[in-house]
Amino acid sequence: MNEEKLDVVNYIRGLASLSVCWYHLTTCYPGASESKIIQSLGYYGQYGVHAFFVISGYVITYFLDKNNYRISHIITFLKRRFIRVNYPYYASIIFIILITMIAQMLPSYRGNLSVYEIKDILLHFVFLTRFYGENWINPAYWTLSIEFQYYILMGLAVPLMNKKMSKMIIYIILIITSLITPFQYKQILISAWLPLFIIGGETYMYRITKSSVTSYYTYLSVCLLIIIINHYDYLPCIITSVVTSQLILCYHLKYKIKILSFMGNISYSLYLIHVPLGQKIINATTRIFGVSDICLFISAIVATVVCIFISFLFFKIIEHPCHILSKKVTLKSR
């Protein structure tokens, strides 16, 4: 995969992160219910998550193919992903607890007091929060649980997919699993999201000519059909997954877009911290200026800008060093 395609993936990742941030800062806090206009401005931002899953399918398939992945590499592969994904995630948990405690000590604080139990924190650390019926301290965290399930699944399944027949059998099993998983487990199990990851993976395989046109668009069509069956809001899901995959395939850059490159670089940091930080900023500004449409809109803009700035600092101090550290872990057999 050439650098141009990596740039496109990074741009889409940045836009997806920003759209999810805007969604949460315009719809997912108490004052948002005061304005249907503000809610409508952010509603479709939630589908940035679907773009993330397609991108993840593309990038992980690229990485495993590039490194001639074998089942004996699974420990080092998961270790690499653990450092890249979990270390910043753990840092964000600490960050959220700290800013919440600081906010609760302020005289102007009016919300309910948050109490963090050791059990809840430990469940967060191993992505089992929803499995035990508890709530995430950051509602965006559920996707990280899905992502790590995908890493484990790919680590086990990829070595078995070298032949077309075995690959087809595995896909059939995954698709059936996706179809029979109850909808209420959507934010717990990867099953409902498998078509998006498959679209991303097959987009990469088609891109490097390891998949024919017929094969690629057959897989794409089947995945879109599963999305229609699985998701009540299937139309924006389909649009997001198709646009994301086809942009990666077809978009040709004439020059780098610096602002999108910047947003792509900090996208994970922004994703990790925007909800708790942004909502506290919005709560503070709306207490001062009120909850009219214009005040809510300005508050969301201010919160987004501050979140981007703090995310940049988080990226520099936490995420980027973790990224560099993860690259030192090369795939090797155990």
User: Which of 2-16, 303-317, 318-332 is most confident?
Assistant: 303-317
42 or 203, which is more confident? Answer: 203
> pLDDT tens digit string along 135-148?
999 999 999 999 99
Residue 184 has pLDDT above 90, yes or no: no
Q: Is the pLDDT of residue 55 over 90?
A: yes
Within a domain: 240: yes
- Work out how many domains the chain is built from and give that number: 1
* pLDDT value of residue 124: 95
Residue 35 has pLDDT above 80, yes or no: no
Say what the pLDDT of residue 31 is: 59
Query: Quick one: average pLDDT of 291-320?
Result: 92
Give the model's pLDDT for residue 163: 78
In a domain, 184, yes or no: yes
Assess if residue 334 is contained within a domain.
Answer: no
Q: What is the pLDDT of residues 1-26, one digit of tens each?
A: 555 557 899 999 999 999 999 999 98
Question: Of 70, 58, 64, nearest to 206 (Cα)?
Answer: 58
Mean of all residue pLDDT scores within the chain: 89
Percent of the chain predicted with pLDDT > 70: 93
The model's confidence at residue 92, banded by pLDDT at 50, 70 and 90, is: very high
43 in a domain, yes or no?
yes
Average pLDDT estimate for 35-53: 85
Q: Is the residue at 7 inside a domain?
A: yes
- 170-180 mean pLDDT: 87
Query: Does 125 fall in a domain?
Result: yes
Domain extent for 264? 3-327
The residues, ordered by sequence, that sit 6+ positions from 192 with a Cβ below 8 Å of its Cβ are 178, 181, 183, 185, 186, 230, 231
333 falls within a domain: no
pLDDT band, very low/low/confident/very high, at 32 (cuts 50, 70, 90): low
Are residues 45 and 299 in contact, defined by beta-carbon separation less than 8 angstroms?
Answer: no
pLDDT at 268: 97
Residue with the bigger pLDDT between 241 and 185: it is 241
The answer to whether residue 305 scores a pLDDT higher than 70 is: yes
Average pLDDT over residues 66-93: 95
Model confidence over 206-226: pLDDT tens digits? 998 888 899 999 999 999 999
Whose CA is closest to 6, among 286, 294, 274, 256? 256
Q: Is residue 147 part of a domain?
A: yes
pLDDT at 58: 96
Q: Look at residue 204 and tell me whether its pLDDT is greater than 80.
A: yes
Give the position of tokens 């690259």. 327
Single-letter amino acid, residue 272:
L
- Please give the Cα distance from 36 to 158 (Å, whole number): 46
Taking residues 91-108, what's their average pLDDT?
Answer: 88
- Which amino acid is located at 82 in the chain? F
Tell me the average pLDDT across 176-199: 88
Whole-number percent of the chain with pLDDT over 90: 62
User: Which three-class secondary structure string do you get for the chain?
Assistant: CCHHHHHHHHHHHHHHHHHHHHHHHHHCCHHHHHCHHHHHHHHHHHHHHHHHHHHHHHHHHHHHHHCCCCHHHHHHHHHHHHHHHHHHHHHHHHHHHHHHHHHHHCCCCCCCCCCCCHHHHHHHHCCCCHHHCCCCCCHHHHHHHHHHHHHHHHHHHHHHCCCHHHHHHHHHHHHHHHHHCCHHHCCCCCHHHHHHHHHHHHHHHHHCCCCCHHHHHHHHHHHHHHHHHHCCCHHHHHHHHHHHHHHHHHCCCCCCCHHHHHHHHCHHHHHHHHHHHHHHHHHHHHHHHCCCHHHHHHHHHHHHHHHHHHHHHHHHHHHHHHHHHHHCCCCCCC
Whole-model pTM?
Answer: 0.92
Summarised one tens digit per residue, pLDDT across range 72-82 is: 999 999 999 99
Q: What is the pLDDT of residue 111?
A: 66
Q: Residue 255's pLDDT is what?
A: 77
